[in-house]
Amino acid sequence: MTDVILVLNAGSSSLKFAVYPKTEGANSPLLRGKISGIGTKPVFSARDAAGLELLQHGFAPIDPKTTADGLIPNLLDWVQAHLSGATICAAGHRVVHGGPHHAGPAVVTKTLLSDLEALVPLAPMHQPHNLAAIRCLAAKAPDMPQVACFDTSFHHTQDRLAQIFALPRALTDEGIIRYGFHGLSYEYIASTLPSYLGNRADGRVVVAHLGSGASICAMQNQRSVATSMGLTVLDGLMMGRRCGTLDPGVVLYLMEEKHMSAQQIKTLLYRQSGLLGVSGISNDMATLEQTDAPEAKQAIDLFCYRAAREVASLAVTIGGLDALIFTAGIGENSATVRADICARLRWMGVRIEAAANVQNAARLSPRGADIEVLVIPTDEETIIAQATRALTCGAGAAAQT
């Protein structure tokens, strides 16, 4: 009987999943899918290994009020039914915050779960959903080993200077530092660089992960040197709903002059800002690109302006730029955004070919360009599957919660 690994990425409004063979080196999923619109209008979609769409048939009707973790029992049954005879032998999860102590993935134990619970205030919109998925699976399949893969781990290679804020030392010592996120995506991109760049893979590379959440990472030798996100996922780029870098004086002003509570400010910064806040129309880039309203155009302009500034700023940390990589939903699909960002970086020597850009080609820069500009689709699930396989299929599988 075949053993498989289940990968889960549970968020506030979506549950992404993928199933991989347990076999070492099998990096193509047997099936992959997601339930989006959780909490409003849930939509199920899944594809098999050949990319053919799989029917929701067998998945119980989804209550719009269900949370992502509430869908896991159904999902397990559905996966089992679509992989006749296969056994799910382990599960891997994306966990947004690993705090200061996790430079790599970890097998889930009771102690780990309570450590991760303590980090909820640092990722209030993500961490609770990640942990709820782990708990739900532990309740449904108590003997199945689970692995937590952290978005922060990839950035543990950064120098201290890149990590600390200019705050009193006691706060830094407490762990109020820049952790950085999207590490699973950056780890995947880093692993693909040699196949795109050959020897230049070890050079000065800036990766722009532009999705609903967005950040940028400067790498050298395929390791993180600096990144735009900080203690929380609010820092850095403007995002779908998040504000990105903000004068901290704005928060003080909102508290003192507008008498807003911490909860109201949290909602404003995490949910009501970014593309949605500036456009007043949508948090979704594709929707804004199809809208004529000047507010939509200004939101896209600000997104690109801020991203270009951040690319240039991060290039300072690695002493220049050999390659610029675009990834995630916007980075992989929006020719408009890529063209705008690259135009703002022309002074640095960034050049792209318009035809290649419109086709979402892998290589956008002209042949022989000093700075390679590439589009590389990210694949966080494969990184999670590899880590889960390594930690649970060897001799040292640890106890479940």
CB of 287 to ligand AMP, least distance (A): 6
- Going by C-alpha positions, the residue among 289, 311, 312, 308 that lies closest to residue 300 is 289
Residues 305-364 that bind ligand AMP (CB under 6 A): 328-330, 333-334
Task: Give the x-and-dash track for 65-104 against ligand AMP (CB under 6 A).
Answer: ----------------------------------------
Applying CB under 6 A, the span of 103-111, 281-289, 347-355, 362-370 interacting with ligand AMP comes to 281-289
In the list 42, 211, 230, 236, the residue contacting ligand AMP (rule: CB under 6 A) is 211
Both tokens assigned to 239: 């995002």
Tell me how far, at minimum, the Cβ of 284 lies from ligand AMP, in Å: 4
Taking the least distance from each CB to ligand AMP, the nearer of 189 and 330 is 330
| Sequence-separated (6 or more) residues with CB below 8 Å from residue 247 | none
Which tokens in the block code for residue 390? 């390594």
Task: Rank residues 212 and 273 by Cβ distance to ligand AMP and give the closer one.
Answer: 212
Total residues in contact with ligand AMP, by rule CB under 6 A:
12
Residue 233's alpha-carbon distances to 79, 121, 191, in angstroms, are 31, 11, 23
Helix (H) / strand (E) containing 4: strand 3-10
* Contact stretch for ligand AMP (CB under 6 A) within 29-37, 149-157, 220-228, 279-287: 279-287
Count of residues for the chain? 401
Measure CA of the first residue to CA of the last residue in the chain; give whole Å.
26
Q: Residue 284, interface with ligand AMP (CB under 6 A)?
A: yes
Which residues have C-beta within 8 Å of that of residue 2, sequence separation ≥ 6?
A: 21, 22, 83, 85, 86, 87
Rounded to the nearest angstrom, the gap between the alpha carbon of residue 292 and the centroid of all alpha carbons in its chain is: 29
Using the minimum distance from each CB to ligand AMP, give the nearer residue, 211 or 244: 211
With binding defined as CB under 6 A, does residue 289 bind ligand AMP? yes
The residues annotated with a catalytic role in the active site are 151
- DSSP, residue by residue, 271-317: HSSHHHHHHSS-S-HHHHHT---HHHHHHHHHHHHHHHHHHHHHHHH
Q: Please list, in sequence order, all residues whose beta carbon lies within 8 angstroms of the beta carbon of residue 130, skipping any fewer than 6 positions away.
A: 10, 93, 94, 95, 96, 116, 148
Q: Nearer to ligand AMP by C-beta: 88 or 270? A: 270
Question: Which C-beta is closer to ligand AMP: that of 212 or that of 357?
Answer: 212
Contact 34/56 with Cβ under 8 angstroms?
no
CB of 334 to ligand AMP, least distance (A): 4
Q: How far is the CB of 297 from ligand AMP (least distance, A)?
A: 14
Q: Give the one residue of 21, 98, 180, 240 binding ligand AMP; rule: CB under 6 A.
A: 240
> Which residues are CB-contacts of 391 (< 8 A; sequence separation ≥ 6)?
105, 106, 107, 145, 147, 397
286 touches ligand AMP (CB under 6 A): yes
| Nearest-approach distance from CB 210 to ligand AMP, in angstroms | 7
Residue 183 engages ligand AMP in binding (rule: CB under 6 A): no
In sequence order, the β-bridge partners of residue 19 are: 6, 31
For position 14 contacting ligand AMP by CB under 6 A, the verdict is no
* Residue 378 CB, nearest approach to ligand AMP (Å): 8
- Rounded Cα distance, 205 and 284, in Å: 27
Q: Taking CB under 6 A as the rule, does residue 35 contact ligand AMP?
A: no
Q: Which stretch binds ligand AMP (CB under 6 A): 52-60, 245-253, 283-291, 302-310?
A: 283-291
**62 makes contact with ligand AMP (CB under 6 A):** no
Q: Which stretch binds ligand AMP (CB under 6 A): 42-50, 242-250, 257-265, 285-293?
A: 285-293
CB of 283 to ligand AMP, least distance (A): 7
β partners of residue 323: 205, 372
CB of 375 to ligand AMP, least distance (A): 12
CA dist., res. 57 & res. 69, Å (int): 20
Binding stretches for ligand AMP (CB under 6 A) = 211-212, 240, 284-286, 289, 328-330, 333-334
